[in-house]
Amino acid sequence: MVNRADDDRYRELTRDLDISDNNILQARQRSIDLFTSRRAGLLLHPTSLPGPSESGDLGQEAHRFIDFLVSCGMSVWQTLPLGPTHDDRSPYQCLSVHAGNEQLISLQWLVDRGWLDQHLPPENGVDARKLRRVRLAAARNGFKRHAENGDREAYTKFRDGQSHWLDDYALYMALREDQHHKPWFEWHLPLRNRDPAEISAARKRLAASIEQVCFEQFVFYRQWDELRAHAHERGITLFGDLPIFVAHDSADVWVHRDLFTLNDAGQLEVVAGVPPDYFSETGQRWGNPLYHWERIEADDFNWWIERVRTQLGLFDLVRLDHFRGFEKYWEIPAESETAENGHWVSAPGTKLFYRLYEEFRSLPLVAEDLGVITPEVEAMRRQFAFPGMKILQFAFEGGPSNPYLPHNHELDCVVYTGTHDNDTTAGWFSGLADEQKQYVIEYLGSTGNNMPWPMIRAALMSVSCLSVLPLQDVLGLGSEHRMNIPGRSGNNWQWRFQWDQIPENLDRDLRHLVELYGRIG
């Protein structure tokens, strides 16, 4: 990892920076600070927060979670991607790479500002999302009637400042609702192909719906700005996640069709995924469209620059999901039901990262370098000084040379007991064969009776610059509480916790370990 502690080096990196872009400036400074000392954090997506709505949100409970992190001695909150999801709720298959998930909007925040009626029965049942849409529409009407001049000015500034993506996204969402939620590639041909006359007519016809989407994005970003300010006031670094690929049914693919490998009808010919691995014997067929990298490069990588700019405005540090795919990606014929019949295709990751460094001067990125990692991928990661990832659940196969074992860790990595794709550590351990359990027990020097705490200790004592623990692990929860099972099409991304699950002295016990292993931020 590049030594970022030197102030002169920091001034050199930011010499030509547009100082008016405060969010990116703060992100860059905080990422530099992050890797000059040992840190610890928790992994929790905001949808998993408690609350009366169908999903956790960015309101009071999110602010309370930041305070909980502080009481635990933690200084990092890692989330999953924040974009709007399809009905399966996967944050890795979003409708936009720039927009925020309107399901994360705190309705109470709207009530507190007088934009929404204060009587809010809980959102539950099959009509929860419909009820939320009604409430958000009512909030926009309340905003028009009761917003102060400062709020109105802020809304105008937001619309103007984000118009490069917001105008198309709002139209796409309005059309998607108008088309009964069909994906864009099933719309009638003039809309599918963005015929100028048809698009102009749609903007006029759906003006109210478009305005509603813009209002919701304004509220999301306003709430996130307040949450980020609270996090920074309490010394908490926000750690986000950027998927390498985007969903086929997304505003980005509809608007920038030429940048993706689609046929003339907008249908997929090849799709993204990974070959057979730890998670699946048949590999994972993600189904995302692949990039036309030659066209992206010919446009000086501007699509990627804007995508990264949005993330650096939201987060202090960002995980690059499937980093391996920036060097070579797994291309699968679209008609294949599994990922076994794919092949590797080269990608211009080195050129992309040079261009991003040229644009931003510093990149607070972590490489998700799991799976089949070649020397070329490792060389690219080290070339750009991106910390990698170490998963302790992967450590106990293959003997003492396994790179995930703590004695093989390096400074430039982030260590996890597990991630959102893993079983909880308690569930993982209970599913091991007896001889594997014995190996884990001997290595960790524990009895195995208090798992996952020996794994938590191992993660915190690692030499790695940052240690991140899923909340499920510090709560000692079993397999029924995992966030995602890769390859399963339903019943993922729904886990939530309640405050009464937090043991009385958990914050004290975690703080003791964080202090013991020198990770107090």
User: Is residue 247's pLDDT more than 70?
Assistant: yes
Distance of CA 463 to the CA centre of its chain: 25
Asked whether the predicted pLDDT for residue 93 surpasses 90, the reply is: yes
CA distance 305 to 357: 10
The crossing angle, in degrees rounded to 10, of helices 349-360 and 302-314 is: 60
| Mean pLDDT value across the chain | 91
For the cut 90, the answer to whether the pLDDT of residue 127 exceeds it is: no
* 121 within some domain: no
* Rounded Cα–Cα distance for residues 481 and 452 (Å): 14
User: Mean pLDDT over residues 470-476, rounded?
Assistant: 98
Name residue, tokens 């409708």.
Answer: 95
The SS3 assignment for 315 reads coil
Position 125 scores a pLDDT of 63
Q: Specify the residue for token string 């066209």.
A: 295
The answer to whether the CB of 62 falls within 8 A of the CB of 227 is yes
Domain-located, residue 182: no
Q: Which of 102, 216, 321, 369 is catalytic?
A: 321
Where residue 398 falls (left for φ over 0; alpha for ψ -120 to 50; beta otherwise) is left
| Furthest-apart CA atoms within the chain: distance in Å | 71
**378 vs 385: CA distance, rounded Å:** 10
For residue 7, the model assigns a pLDDT of 37
Q: Which residues pair with 10 in a beta bridge?
A: none
Catalytic residue status for 421: yes
If phi > 0 it is left, if psi is from -120 to 50 it is alpha, else beta; for residue 448 that is left
Q: CA 514 to CA 506: how far, in whole Å?
A: 12
Q: How far apart are CA 176 and CA 456, in angstroms?
A: 45
CB of 4 within 8 A of CB of 10? Answer: yes
Q: Say if 467 falls within a structural domain.
A: yes
∠ Cα 52 54 59 (to 5°): 55
d(CA 160, CA 76): 32
Tokens, residue 289: 């469209």
CA–CA separation, 169 vs 210, rounded Å?
9
Cβ contacts of 196 within 8 Å, gap of 6 or more: none
Q: What is the mean pLDDT of residues 262-277?
A: 92
**Catalytic residue from among 57, 369, 421, 507:** 421
| Pairing relationship of beta strands 328-333 and 270-274 according to DSSP bridges | antiparallel
Return the C-alpha torsion angle 500, 502, 505, 506, nearest 10: -170
In the sheet that 343-346 helps form, which strands lie side by side, from edge to edge?
A: 284-285, 270-274, 328-333, 343-346
Residue 193 lies in a domain: no
Asked if residue 130 belongs to a domain, the reply is: no
Q: What is the pLDDT of residues 329-382, one digit of tens each?
A: 999 999 999 999 999 999 999 999 999 999 998 899 999 999 879 999 999 999
User: Domain holding 509: CATH number?
Assistant: 3.20.20.80
**Nearest alpha carbon to residue 305 among 352, 252, 250:** 352
Which residues 6+ apart lie within 8 Å of 238 measured at CB?
76, 77, 79, 228, 231, 314, 315, 316, 317
Identify the DSSP state of 467. E
The SS3 of residue 374 is coil
pLDDT of 293 > 50? The answer is yes
pLDDT tens across 155-186, in order?
Answer: 999 999 999 999 999 999 999 999 999 999 99
Dist. CA 210–CA 214, nearest whole Å: 6
Residue 68, both tokens: 């909980």
- Residue found under tokens 């905001």: 46
Indicate the angle between helix axes 453-461 and 506-516, nearest 10 degrees: 40
> Does the active-site annotation cover 211?
no
With beta carbons less than 8 A apart as the criterion, state whether 62 and 489 touch.
no
Domain count, the chain: 1
Contact present, 80 and 236 (Cβ < 8 Å): no
For the segment 436-453, the average pLDDT, to the nearest whole number, is 93
Q: Among 123-132, 269-278, 344-353, 407-416, which stretch is predicted with the lowest mean pLDDT?
A: 123-132
User: For residue 238, what are the β-bridge partners?
Assistant: 77
pLDDT level of residue 489 (50, 70, 90 thresholds):
confident
Answer yes or no: is 291 within a domain.
yes
Of 57, 249, 252, 368, the catalytic one is 368
The contacts of residue 162 (CB under 8 Å, 6+ apart) are: 98, 217, 221
pLDDT for the residue 499: 98
- Asked if residue 366 lies in contact with residue 406, where contact means CB atoms within 8 angstroms, the answer is no
Q: Is residue 82 part of a domain?
A: yes
Domain interval for residue 327: 7-99+237-516
End-to-end CA distance of the chain: 19
The type of residue at 278 is: Y
Residue bearing the bigger pLDDT, 307 or 373: 307
Q: Which helix (H) or strand (E) holds 330?
A: strand 328-333
d(CA 63, CA 55): 15
Share of the chain above pLDDT 70, in %: 91
Q: How far apart are CA 441 and CA 435, in angstroms?
A: 10
Nearest residue to 443 (alpha-carbon basis) of 394, 395, 514, 510: 395
User: Would you call 507 a catalytic residue per the annotation?
Assistant: no
Residue 423 within any structural domain of the chain: yes
Query: CA-to-CA distance for 516 and 497, rounded, in angstroms?
Result: 27
